Amino acid sequence: MFAFIVSRVLQALPVMLTVALLSFAMFAYVGDPVAIMLGQDYTEAQRTQLISDLGLDQPFFVQFFKFVVNAAQGEFGLSYRLSRPVADLIAERAPATLELALCAAALALAIGVPMGVYTGLYRNSWLSRFFLTFSLIGVSLPTFLIGILLILTFSVWLGWLPSFGRGDTIRWGWWSTGLATWSGLKALILPAITLGLFQLTLIMRLVRAEMLEVLRTDYIKFARARGLTNRAVHFGHALKNTLVPVITITGLQLGAIIAFAIVTETVFQWPGMGLLFIQSVGAADIPVMSAYLLLIALMFVTINLIVDLLYYAVDPRLRIGGGKGGH
Amino acid sequence: MSDIKPILEVRNLRVEFPTRRGLLVALDDVSFSIAPGEVLGVVGESGAGKSMTGAAIIGLLEPPGRIAGGQILLEGRRIDNLPYQDLRRIRGREIGAIFQDPLTTLNPLYTVGAQLIETMVTHLPLNPAQARAKAIEWLELVGIPAAAQRIDSYPHEFSGGMRQRVVIALALCAEPKLIVADEPTTALDVSIQAQVIALLKRLAREKGTAMMLVTHDMGVIAETADRVAVMYAGRIVEIGAVRNVVKHAAHPYSSGLMGSIPPVSRRLDRMQQIDGAMPRLSAIPKGCPYNPRCPKVFDRCMVERPELMPAEGNLAACWLYADGAPAAEAKHHG
């Protein structure tokens, strides 16, 4: 088990280095940081001074090495746009995005899995047909449209929920949370639905397809022939066998939710990383962009590790070296 | 035999599949009974309706298949029209089932012990600790070595033959009165087949369990069964004591089937075979369904469907044994 984790972490290193190389290359090839930082009026002496301050006169590999060492310590330099350390900016914004993404994912799982099981078991009931039609809408409507429609309904017409922002937040150490206040929770509802709706329908359709597949297998037939209760057959035997693909997709989608919450954050003016990123792209704020790229890569690598560990917990056949005897 | 109350009685069973192209009749007028402790073999080609009969008895026909007529009685009680929940309590508890492929009939995510315990706790008044002790006993009984340790192993940690032993333990663990075994040895190595058959036979005898043994392997039937039913195109064409059917098959189809068992004692240049193929369910011929392939066909076979009638000490659905058949040469086949 421990060896498994270590080997996975070692496998992740080349991935992270490759992404680091890409995000470092942005400094060299996208725009000229010196020109951006100096502005309109400068002397040649100031320019040379800045170049040597920034270490840009050093060889490529030395620069890259320094970048990696700094990045590993959470040092990404100053934002061009805001002239503040990038690490601070991200630390301020990350809790908002993570809370939003995790709530959206939890919503998608908590509603999507039961709906998938139901539509898989009762294929022909009118409720299943309704869910399927509804899921088609969820898959095909663009995120921004859903967000705007929700705002129109619940903020403008009904006036029940706020249309933008995060509400009041409470700080726990460096983490700021909106989950502990009433206005924070109210502000979270619409963005979480907007972000989670597509994932919800995706998970529902996936669970449904897997359930239909699993219900046809011999071991389900045999479980019925053994006279087990429907509950045991459906939830004990069938659902557990659908979990491996569901975990895979949910893991990948969670990464995608975090990385691409941009649209939702923009629609709701949610003060998260996505909004920071889109503003940084507009200003060619390369330190922020490269840090964001690395952070997202790290997030995907971590999620993949967790997914692998969950496989390990769910499916005994994947436990390497766990078997004795055998065929 | 007739004075003992049968465990299972199937009367005029008819199974239909409504399809877009019309109604398919998968089983038609199937009747037989199984006495306590008796082993009834059911043979036939693929698609003859052997497995379908088993599925109908345990109430697990694949939709849209449904029982359209007839009755199934378990110890004199009708079970074919029971609501799903009542039938569930019978499955496993009173009728056990064994399926063909042990590699796919066990849930890969649960240990064999968990599956045994789950089955026993569902049907018997046992707490999990008692069920676990019983589960170890069962694994020993079906010949799993070091059962006390192996109980916590997953199915993929067993070989095919061992897995079929686990399946047998699962089918028997709630001590049902009847076992429906659908091709229990077909997926196994030949060397393992004999062991598994011997185990099934021994356990059935010890526990007094009746068995319906579905197979296309006449060798298995000859070795295991007391009586045999030969099926063709969804009907029973001959039924009788195994010994007699093997030696004096009455129906031309059964005698063809027996003739295609290669003898061990002499070399054959060519295996015996029955020409043609079984008709599809959508194109069963008028009259006797075997008429296109039958070497002894005559006019009556083309128009009228034969019912089971006494023939050579068995019951056979063949006009050769009715009054007015072209008798003389008819009785000297096989």
Write the pLDDT tens digit of every residue in B8-62. Answer: 999 999 999 988 888 888 898 999 999 988 999 999 888 888 889 999 999 888 8
Q: What is the sign, positive or negative, of the torsion defined by CA atoms of B209, B212, B213, B219?
A: positive
Residue B331 has pLDDT above 70, yes or no: no
B positions 190-219 inside 8 Å of A (CB): none
Q: Cβ contacts (< 8 Å) between B105 and chain A: which residues?
A: 218-219, 221-222
How far is the C-alpha of B8 from the C-alpha of A225, rounded, in Å? 17
Which residue of A214, A215, A222 to mutate against B (max B Cβ within 10 Å)? A222
Residue A163 has pLDDT above 90, yes or no: no
Q: Match 């009173």 to its residue by tokens.
A: B94
Q: What is the mean pLDDT of residues B272-293?
A: 83
CB contact under 8 A, B118 and A218: no
Residue B85 has pLDDT above 50, yes or no: yes
Q: Does B60 touch chain A (CB under 8 A)?
A: yes
Report, in angstroms and rounded to the nearest whole number, the Rg of chain A calculated over CA atoms. Answer: 24
Residue B288: C-alpha distances to residues A163, B269, B318 (Å): 77, 32, 8
Note the pLDDT of residue B180.
93
Tell me the domains of chain B and their CATH numbers. Answer: 8-225 (3.40.50.300), 253-264+272-330 (no CATH)
Q: What is the mean pLDDT of residues B308-319?
A: 88
Note the pLDDT of residue B3.
60
Residue B118 has pLDDT above 90, yes or no: yes
What CATH code is carried by the domain that includes residue A289?
1.10.3720.10
Name the pLDDT band for B193 (thresholds 50, 70, 90).
Answer: confident
Which residue(s) pair with B9 in the sheet?
Answer: B33, B73
Q: Does A218 touch chain B (CB under 8 A)?
A: yes
Q: Report whether B214 contacts B182 (CB < 8 A).
A: yes
Query: A132 CA to chain B: closest CA distance, Å?
Result: 22
Q: Does B175 touch chain A (CB under 8 A)?
A: no
Note the pLDDT of residue B1.
47
Query: B236 CA to chain A: closest CA distance, Å?
Result: 25
Question: Nearest to residue B275, comparing CAs of B262, B291, B251, B298?
Answer: B291
Q: Report whether B211 contacts B181 (CB < 8 A).
A: yes
Q: What is the phi-psi region of residue B110: left when phi exceeds 0, alpha when psi lies from -120 to 50, beta otherwise? A: beta
Residue B2 has pLDDT above 70, yes or no: no
B positions 19-58 inside 8 Å of A (CB): 58
Q: Match 């429907």 to its residue by tokens.
A: A230
Note the pLDDT of residue A320.
58
Residue B330 has pLDDT above 60, yes or no: no
- In a domain, residue A22? The reply is no
For residues B263 and B102, which has the higher predicted lDDT (pLDDT)?
B102
Note the pLDDT of residue B131.
93
Query: B319 CA to chain A: closest CA distance, Å?
Result: 39
Residue B334 has pLDDT above 50, yes or no: no
Q: Which chain B residue's Cα is nearest to A242?
A: B109
Q: Does A217 touch chain B (CB under 8 A)?
A: yes
- In a domain, residue A203? The reply is yes
Q: Does B81 touch chain A (CB under 8 A)?
A: no
- In a domain, residue A304? The reply is yes
Find the length of chain A.
327
Find the length of chain B.
334
- In a domain, residue A42? The reply is no
Residue B324 has pLDDT above 80, yes or no: no
- In a domain, residue A280? The reply is yes
Which residue of B94, B150, B157 to mutate against A (max A Cβ within 10 Å)? B157
Q: What is the mean pLDDT of residues A241-263?
A: 85
CB contact under 8 A, B99 and A217: no
Q: Cβ contacts (< 8 Å) between B170 and chain A: which residues?
A: 222, 226
How far is the C-alpha of B41 from the C-alpha of B217, rounded, in Å? 10
Note the pLDDT of residue A327.
39
In whole numbers, what is the pLDDT of chain B averaged over residues?
87
Residue B234 has pLDDT above 80, yes or no: yes
Q: What is the mean pLDDT of residues A181-210?
A: 88
The greatest distance separating any two alpha carbons of chain A, rounded to the nearest whole angstrom, comes to: 87
Note the pLDDT of residue A169.
76
Structure tokens at A83: 């002239």
Q: Cβ contacts (< 8 Å) between B52 and chain A: which residues?
A: none
Helix, strand, coil % over all residues of chain A, rounded to 5? 75, 0, 25
Number of domains in chain A: 1
Note the pLDDT of residue A269.
85
Structure tokens at A53: 């301050």
CB neighbours of residue A141 within 10 Å? 14
For residues B260 and A222, which has the higher predicted lDDT (pLDDT)?
A222
What is the residue-wise DSSP string for B124-165? SS--HHHHHHHHHHHHHHTT-TTHHHHTT--GGGS-HHHHHH
Buried b (16+ CB within 10 A) or exposed e, A159-196: eebbbeebeebeeeeeebbbeeeeebbebbbbbbbbbb
Name which of A217, A221, A236 is nearest B60 (Cβ-Cβ).
A221
Q: Which chain A residue's Cα is nearest to B63?
A: A216
How far does CA A62 lie from the centroid of its chain?
Answer: 33
Q: In terms of residue numbers, what domain contains A208? A: 86-318
CB contact under 8 A, B106 and A222: yes
Strands (E), B120-270: 178-182, 210-214, 227-232, 235-241
- In a domain, residue A112? The reply is yes
Q: Does B317 touch chain A (CB under 8 A)?
A: no
- In a domain, residue A214? The reply is yes
CB contact under 8 A, A323 and B58: no
- In a domain, residue A181? The reply is yes
pLDDT in tens, A33-70: 677 777 778 888 888 888 887 777 788 888 888 888 88
Q: Which chain B residue's Cα is nearest to A313?
A: B109
Q: What is the sign, positive or negative, of the torsion defined by CA atoms of A271, A276, A278, A280?
A: positive
Q: Does B159 touch chain A (CB under 8 A)?
A: yes
Question: Nearest to residue A316, comparing CAs of A243, A248, A212?
Answer: A243
Q: What is the mean pLDDT of residues A97-101?
A: 88
Residue A168 has pLDDT above 50, yes or no: yes
Residue A32 has pLDDT above 80, yes or no: no
CB-based contacts of A305, cutoff 8 Å, min separation 6: A5, A8, A9, A12
- Least confident range of B147-151, B186-190, B228-232, B313-317: B186-190
For residues A37 and B246, which has the higher predicted lDDT (pLDDT)?
B246
How far is the C-alpha of B316 from the C-alpha of A87, rounded, in Å? 88
Note the pLDDT of residue B333.
47
Query: B88 CA to chain A: closest CA distance, Å?
Result: 5
Note the pLDDT of residue B47.
81
Q: Which chain B residue's Cα is nearest to A239?
A: B109
A positions 240-259 inside 8 Å of B (CB): 240-241
Q: What percent of chain A has a predicted confidence (pLDDT) above 90?
A: 14
Q: Does A213 touch chain B (CB under 8 A)?
A: no
Strands (E), chain B: 8-19, 22-34, 39-43, 66-74, 77-78, 95-98, 178-182, 210-214, 227-232, 235-241, 309-311, 314-316
